[in-house]
Structure formats: C-alpha cells, structure tokens
Structure 1
Amino acid sequence: MSYEFEVLKQRFDEGELSISEYLPFPIKESWLRCKNNALDMKGGLQYERLRKNRFAELKYDSRLLIESSKNHLQRLHDSVADAGWSILLTDANCNTLHVMRSNKIVNDDLFSAFDSGVVLNERNVGTTAMSCSIHSKRFTRVYGNEHYNNVLTGLNCAALPILSPKGIAIGSINVTNENPLNDPTVFFMLKACAKNIQKQLIYSMPETLVIEMTLSSGQFGELTNLIIGVGPDTSIVGCNEAAQRFLFNNCPVNDQKFQSIFDTPFSDVLNLGVRQQKIFKLRATSGVFLTAKVVQPFTQNQLSNSVSTQSIPDHIEHQVDPVYFGDPNISKSIDRGRKVIGRLPVILLGESGVGKEVSAQHLHLESQCSGKFISINCASIPESLIESELFGYQGGAFTGADKKGYKGRIAEAHNGTLFLDEIGDMPLVMQSRLLRVLETRKVNPLGSNIEKEVSFQLICATNIDLAKLVESGGFRKDLYYRIKGYSINLLPLRSRVDKIGIADVILRKDCLNKSMLDEDVKRLIENYDWPGNIRELRNALLYADTINEGDDTITLEELPEEYHTLFVPLPESPQACENKKSLGKVDIEMQKLISTALAQCKGNVSEAAKWLGMSRATLYRKLPANYAKSVSS
C-alpha cells in the first residue's frame, strides 16, 4: 500500500474519522463500525472457534446452503487454487462453514483463520471482505491495509454475498490470496459461483414451480436470466437477483401473487409450460414481453429431500432424521401415517411426554399441505370458551366479544392440519358439534347463520383409552369411529429400542454446551424407567447443559440430584473380585468409612460424598456392594 494510505489509516486511528470519506463505501462503513466497537487497529488476533456441538448445530441449520454450494465451490476451487486463491464459505454472521485452501500458500500463519468453525465477524477480526459484502449486499474487495486490523494486511480478499430466494444475505463466498492480484477473471468466476448457488437454492424450495425468463429469445441457462419460484397458491415465493432488480425494483419478495406481476394468466403457464413443455411468452404488468420456460414443475422436490436426510451433524453417532423416534416400529407407523394423512384422520396414542405434538407436526410437514398447523389442547381450554375458540364467533355475539369477531381455530386450519390434543377431555356437547364439522366440512360461528366451508387434515391425540371411555359414556361412539382412521401407538421411552439415539438428537437440537454423554450417563438412560418420557429426558439433559460444569461431555454429577441415587454401578467381574481379596486393610477401612457416612447422611450419596471430602463419582466407584443392592431395590 502507498505511503498516503498508511498516513490515512494512522489519522483515522488517531480519531480523525472524517478522513474515511476517501475509502470505498463498504470499507468506510466497516471501519466506522469497528471504531464504534472500540476495536484496536494494532491489536493482535486470537481467532474464536465455535464449540464442537455449537458448530454441528450451525452446520445443521445451514445444511441447505452448504449442500447447494458444494459443487459450485469445488468448480471454483479447481479453477483458481493454482493461482494462489483460497476459498471460504460463511453464514450471514461470518462463521466459517467450509474451507478450500490453495496449495500455493507461503505464509501459513496468515491463513490460520482458514478453518471450519472459526468466527470472522467484525467484532472479532475487524474489516473483512465477507462482512463488507454481507452488509452492502454487493461484491467487495478488501486488500492489504484496507483491513482494519494490521495483522491482516498481508491478505488480499474479495467476497460476494449469497442471497436467499427472498433476496436476503444468508452467507458469503470469499477468495483470498497473498499476492495483491487484481484478476477480473477470478472475480467474474466468483460472481458466477454466487449466482449459481442462489439459483440452486431456488430449485431446492419444496413444492415450487420454477420459471426461467430471458429479456429476448436468447439462450436459457444464462446467469443474467430472470428466475422466479411460484408456490401452489400462485404466490411468488422466491427469485434470483436479476429478477429482483427487474420485476421487484430491488424490493424484498413477500409472496406477491403471480397475477400482480404478470398480465398472462397462470393457467397459460400450467398449460404451455408444464403440460405441453413449450417455451412461451409472459407479459409483465409494465407491458414488457419475456420469453419463458418452466424448468421445474411442482412435482419435483430434488435437493430439499436429499438434504433433510444427509446433513446430520458429524458428532451424532446414530444416523437419524431430524425427528427421531428411537424405534423402528414407530418409524414404520409414522411413515404409513404420512401416506394416509391426506385421506384418513390420524390418531396418536401414548403416555404424556412421548412426543405426540412433535409427531403431529412432522406428519403435517411431510404432507406438504399449503395451510397452517393449528394445535388445540382440548384439556387446557375452559369449557365455557371451547365453543368460541374452536368455531369462532360473529362480532357482538355475546357480552365481551370482539366487535370484529373471531375466525375460530378450525377455520384457521383451512387447507392445513387441525391437531386436537387430549381429545378425550373434550366435553360431550362439543363432541357433537365437532362431529357435525367432520361430516359436513362446514363451520358455523357463534351468532352467525352463515356456514363456512373448511378443508383440513385431522390429527387427534390422547393418553386415554378411548374405547373404554366410549363404553362408560364419556366419549361419543360415532365420533370415536370418525377420528379413528389410522392409529399410531407412540411407545413410552422405556420401551424404545434406541434411547441413546433420542438423547443424541436432544443434544444436537437443544443443547448449546454439551454434545456427548459419558458412559455412566448412557447406562442411566438405558436402565431408568423415565416416567415423564422424552420430556423428562430432555429436561434432565438441558439441566446439565445449563449448569455446564465440565467439558462438552455430560457426566452423572451434572444431572439433577434426584438421578444420582438411581445410578447402579456395573457388577464386578470374577477377576475383579479375586483381585479385591488382596486389596488390604486400607480399602476395607474405606468401605467401612463410606458405610458410616451413608448411615450418617441417611443414604444421601451427595451428602455422604461432601462429608468424606470426595467427589460423588469416586464414592460411587467405592460404593459397598450391600449399599449398591439397596439402591437398586
């Protein structure tokens, strides 16, 4: 860098902020943000690395971006690596997701941050091409002394944001070289890579018809072409950057209807583009004609399906789905439920805490219906309010009613899924009205004579034996057979095959600090009855994650105290018993001392450990055999 730029940087560091006007816009804004955050230009750097489980969670959250980028980044790396360029893929917060280093690196210390899981936001490292491109949503170069932190002046970087189908910056691609090469070819390839990733993200949207348009009768597949994604309700659910500029004047895509952007009827798209597979004309509301082609009809799910099953974080030993049931019989039943839900009502049976609502939400998402998932707990709504809550009411229908009226939860589930939890607790009067809705598919709000048609998928759940409730007169027989289309029995946690797999999924999805279980905790999970089922297990693991007293492995001592006395040590092998004969008086005296401490503390292992001045884990290992037996009984 020139002497003049070094003087500029020194004056800015001394507080002359107005001199930043001489900087390119994205870099100027970044320097001002860094100064505002009290970053030291001359300070050293210690790169922050995400904890293993937090990085695994981050990768899982960014799985679609990672999968959509993989092939395009590889092609870019193959083209530019020999010229000394290394590649970084980050999320919107500048956390490094994927790294592809050049084999031409000379000063390896400068590239110490080129590792997955490193945090490279401005608060940590100052100005970078990634942060500038994400903030400005445009291509940015940051060379040498343009980096706010002097440690990074040996790097020369360029970056582009990756835009979601809605036009939001969700990540960035960065290329870095030790040499200050101003190579337009590399920058063009970087821009093409970012555009291709955005295009892939649009293709990955489930249940989306994708249309590609040219401004003339030119070639399809060109990066300058306009691409839009249209949902089943004809709303535009996403587009590429070119379409956002041309059709939406750079404004966000907010599910505008196809008819608000084009004069051409959407039926022409389905007839010409899908059924006849022809190239056709679209007339924008501005009067401009575009040449168009349907490149993906509604029936293709492509990448979105493969990502959901292939991108489980590496630290999970069990290859499981995001919703994991820990039992093949349950998984089989849920899979069948996914097939029948559009045609038959589904009822979920099981104890409290087995995950009935989670299973219902999973079935709703798998059905890919266009409406909402509406959940109603029939046991939690007061009997006096359940009618208005379910069926809605006309404005002024009763004292205290909202003047605007209320749509009602059943009407909200139109074209979606209605989930009735604890349906066995629904009052008999309401059962009668619900039966009529299920038979007629019409809702009559309170105070209104006008019936509204509704269409929804029905999922019910209960922990009560409805057949016995029917016999006792507590549940209508005709309603019972109306909702009993396909039954799924969700086994209690104690009866499931893979309890450790379920615990692993809880660690991945819900825990911030812990990612593994030690062997004692695994044995406790396997042998304990878990009367509160998955809800109880989740609470126990979250407790350990919250107190976080050790490394990333949950130990027995980090679980709530009521679980400590439930742990039973493994029985000793014959060889261990033989060895024990020669332990001598010291161990015998220790066991006597432990027995005395346990008696003194009335069997409380934690108190006994404190009394003896040892850890609970040590006391467990030395626990006398007769006391272990009493714990297990």
Structure 2
Amino acid sequence: MTAQQLAQRHHIDTILSYAEGGQSATEFPETELIGRSWKRCISEYGLDPSQPRSARIVTQQTLREHQDSVDEFLNVARAGVEQLYGMISHLGYVLLLTDHRGITVQYLGDRRSDRRLRQAGLYLGADWSEQYAGTCAVGTCIAEHQALTCHRVDHFDATHISLTCTSAPILDPSGKLLAVLDISALDSPQARYSQTFALNLTQLYARMIEDAYFLRRYRNQVIFRCDASREFVQVNGQYLFAIDEAGRVEASNTAGRALIGDMPRQKAMGQKPGLTQFFECQLEDIWSIPFDQDDQVRAFRRQGSGDTFFAALIQPRIVSPRSAGTETFAADEQVPGLDRLAADDPVMRRTLGLAKRLRNRDVGLLILGETGTGKEILARAIHESSNRSKRSFVAVNCAAIPESLIESELFGYVAGAFTGARTKGMRGLIQQADGGTLFLDEIGDMPLQLQTRLLRVLAEGEILPIGADRPVRVNCRVIAATHQDLGQLIERGDFRADLYYRLNGASLKLPPLRQRADRLHVIHSVLDNLIAGGGLSAVRLRADAVSALLAYDWPGNIRQLVNALMFAEATCDGGEITANDLPEECVSDRMPPLENDLSATGPESTPLLNALHAHHWNISAVARQFGVSRPTVYRWMGQQGIILPRFLGRGDVSGR
C-alpha cells in the first residue's frame, strides 16, 4: 500500500471514529464548523467516507444554464476575479467562482496542470456542493454562510486530503447567498496557518465584488456611503446604503446590514428604516453632504453609541452629451412624447427624467405600477421618442395569452411544426419586434418554462422558432411591466431571479392616480386625448364634475378614469359633463341634501314621480335636482316600480 493510500485509509478511519463518538481528540477536526459538516455528510446526506467520489463536472448545457442565471453578476465580478488570480497564480492556486448551488461558473487556472485539476474537480462546471462533494470549502461555505479554509484532512472525501481550499460567500443586496469565491491549490504545506493570508485575501475580494455588484444594481439611486475613516470613505467606504428621496434605506451591503440591524426583517414587516434612525441627523443633513465641505464628506454620530462615521453621497449617473451638436440626455431635455405624460408630480418627473436619459439605450426597463396606471402608455412613449420609433412597437400581454399558445405566439413556428399550424409558418411576436420595441406587459404571469427561453433571447439576441433547426437573430429593445411584487414571486419560486435582473436594467415607477399631485392635468389630458382620437364628442367638464373627479380615490387608476369620462360623455347634456353625469361610484360619497325628501335608498315614490313629471321625464334634469348621477335615478325607479311612459323615446328620457 502506497503512502497516499495509507493516508487516505487513516483519514477514513478518523471520520468514522468521529461519527461514532470516538475520543481521539487529536484526530478530530480543528474547528466546530468542520465537525458540523462531517456530521451532515454522514447523517443528512448519507455519504460514506470509504467510498470516495470522482469529481462531478456538469454538461455544457447545464453549465450554460447556471452561468445564465448569474449573467449580470459575472459581468461585474470578472474584473475582481482576474485581479485576484493575477495575485495568486504564481503561488500555485487556481480560482473558482461558483453560484449559490456550488456549480463552478468561472474558473482560472494553469493549463499546464489541466488534467490533474480536472481530475480533482478544480475546474469549470465542477459541482462542489456539500451534498455531493462532502466537506469542502465551497460546499461548507454555502451551508454555513461563512468564510473558511478547508485544509487538507478537513475534507470529507479522502481523495481531497492533499488540497487546501479557501472560500468566502458573496451575498446579494437582500442578504441572500449569490455566489462563492474560492482559491484552491492541489498541493499545500501541512500547517493550517499557511493559509491565513489566503483567507483574508479571499474575504477582501469577495467583499469588493459584492460591493461592486451592489453599486451596479443601485446605480440609478442615491448611495449613502460611509466609513470610520474620512480619508477612505470616497474610495473604499465600507458601508453602502441605497436610499430614496426621504432618506429611507432601500437596500444595503453586508457591512451596512450589520451596522443597522436586520433590515430584511423590518422590510418584511412593512417597515422601511430611515438613516435618521441610525445617525444623529436630520434629512437635510444628508442631502447637503456634497455642499458642506470641500471634500464632499460629512461626519455623523451613530445613535446610541456615539461612534463617528464619515459619509459621502454617490449620485445617480447622468449621461452627458457625447459631443457638440449631438443629442443630449439631460433630465430637463424637452421630449414632447414623454413630457405630456405628467405635469408637476415629483415622482412622475423623476420617472420621466430617467426615461429620457435611457430612451436610446439598449438597457432593459421594468415599469412598475398598479393596474391601470398607464404602463403601456409610458412604454409606447419611450419607443416613439427613441431612435427605434420607425420600427414596430409590439405589445404582449403575458396574462392574456393562453399558456398553451404563448410559446408559439412569442417565438413563432416553421411550416408543419405541429398539427393545425399555418402552412407557411408564422413569425412570432419577438421577431415582429425586430429593430423596434417588445413590450411584455404583466411579465409576472409568464410561465417559468418560457422565462428560461426568454432569458436566452435576451442574453444571445436570437430565437429558435418551434420546429426550426437554426436560430434567427433579433434585435429588439425589451420593456417589461408588472403590477405584481416580483421579489415575492422570486421568493416563492414563481419567477426567475436572473430574468428579473436582466429585465431590470432600470425601474420606472408609476404612482397610482390617487397619489399624483397632477391629477387635474391627467384628467384634462385623458379627456383631450379621447376627444382628439374620436372616442368622444367635444365636451367640457363643469367645476362640480372636476371636484368630484379630484376627490375620488380611483382604485382602477387611469384606465378607470377613461371609462368614467366615456360614460359621462355618453350621458351628459349640452356638451357639458357635470357631477350628475359621472358613474355612481365616482360620486357615491356625496350625500344628497335632506330638503329633497330622500330616504335611505332614495326619494319616496311621490317626490320622485313629481320630479319626473315636472321635468317631463328628463332623467338628467331629475338627477341634477337630487344631486345624484343618472344611473342612480334609474336604480331608484327600478326599486319603486316606476316605468317610463311608452310614448317616450330614448332621446326624451336622456334629455338630448
């Protein structure tokens, strides 16, 4: 038996003895963390240390799927990974970057040792999950959410006892494991302390990559960056917080979460913590940071402890003019197609300012807002204001297409692809949008299977129609929209996180109509557009109608407003819409005056009949007398058994 075989045999006996509760303390793992992993391997995963496993390398297709799932992250991480490898390669290390499941999605190593590295599993596509590989740096880091060195005999698998591997977790802005950074060597010194520097270096770069990804994710928001050192805050501030206009924390990096506590739990309880809760300051102190000092840094004391931190603000990037005479992208640029969508509402101004800057950029846009807030209107305005305006705008309602048809509708098919297919095939909606804009409304309702195919389209710029053997290149700008909370869908497993990050290059938030400061502008704009489009005859709004429209809560938002104005125009007299012409729900909170002899459900039969006779059965006039809408008068008549005289036509009843 060789020395290597003897060492492996001894290692197997050590693990079995530990699992059985043996007392040879010197033989046991040096840390509790490794011990917990050994126990999981035996009791939870059913691994047998006497049956070593060969390295598992996933197929190219599976590897591609894992890489696609973290595509945006890999783009950010690449620079840090290459820089770290440049520092360690001459020491015999290889570098692995795995996803949260332990699959190696990026690898840098010495090609001269390619065969040995692949055999050991230090290779692209290798599965280092603890369930398969046993105790190892990557798998145990995933299980424990903790940086560690798995040195030689710490490994569960006896074939790994010559390896030394050091891993550190990389978390996303919500605190969930996103990836693992690992440096490993085939042969290492016996002493564990030889890897102390490796552990510190791996943790440092994991933090740098994590923070770079955070800054990328929240590049369109203000970042409050702070540190205990004034000199380093601008270049390497440890704590990062993405904040809104009220100074509330939208997200933070790992160090930031540690500083302010369990923010995900607070957000789950419907709370959004503000920076003024953690620092002794007012909101204006935060926004004045860039102007108070020459170095654009300001000191803050932490609430309770009195510790001093130094903070700077990272403002959202504004694209500047490329050169004299070229188009500019300033927020105050005049873009009529977008400017007409709002007046003086602050939220809409920010949304439209961002839309102006990004309208000619091929960055994915995700429009968020309640049902009926005008998401498709905004998407169409962005398209018509962009350099793609001469090509097609194709809108797809992902919730309206039957699941059995959505794949053929989106991707198309070739002739004879399936029974019932058109003889010449069909170009899918994605292909129809080539050169233009594809608008995916209600993206949260897209089936998971199609989410995977859509991700491939976005990543590679090509589609594969049903029945085709060759992909078709497409170049379309994708704008998605939803009224759902995609974060919750991702947590439930109903929406792919990687697709969300691909679509959400920037979020455009549309406030509900009830919260808009420019409701009057919206009301008049909708009415003018309906008239100009031929949907309504020329009418005007009387002051009482305007007051009722402004006071109403609009649960259906702009879509409900359109329907209300169309109803009012159809029932009004003399080209003037009054409050009495509006749908009943829009004025239901207006209590009729007592002097009109109203009961709980309407006027008694005699007062209502007298009013109908007095106004010659003109329903509009009766509604105005009682201060209610026309449908309410009809409802009262039905409740009280009052029937219109047969000699009256519809025109007499309506007062037209």
Which TM-score applies when normalising by structure 1?
0.50
Rg larger in structure: 2
Tell which has more relative contact order, 1 or 2 (C-alpha 8 A, sep 6+).
Answer: 1
Which TM-score applies when normalising by structure 2?
0.48
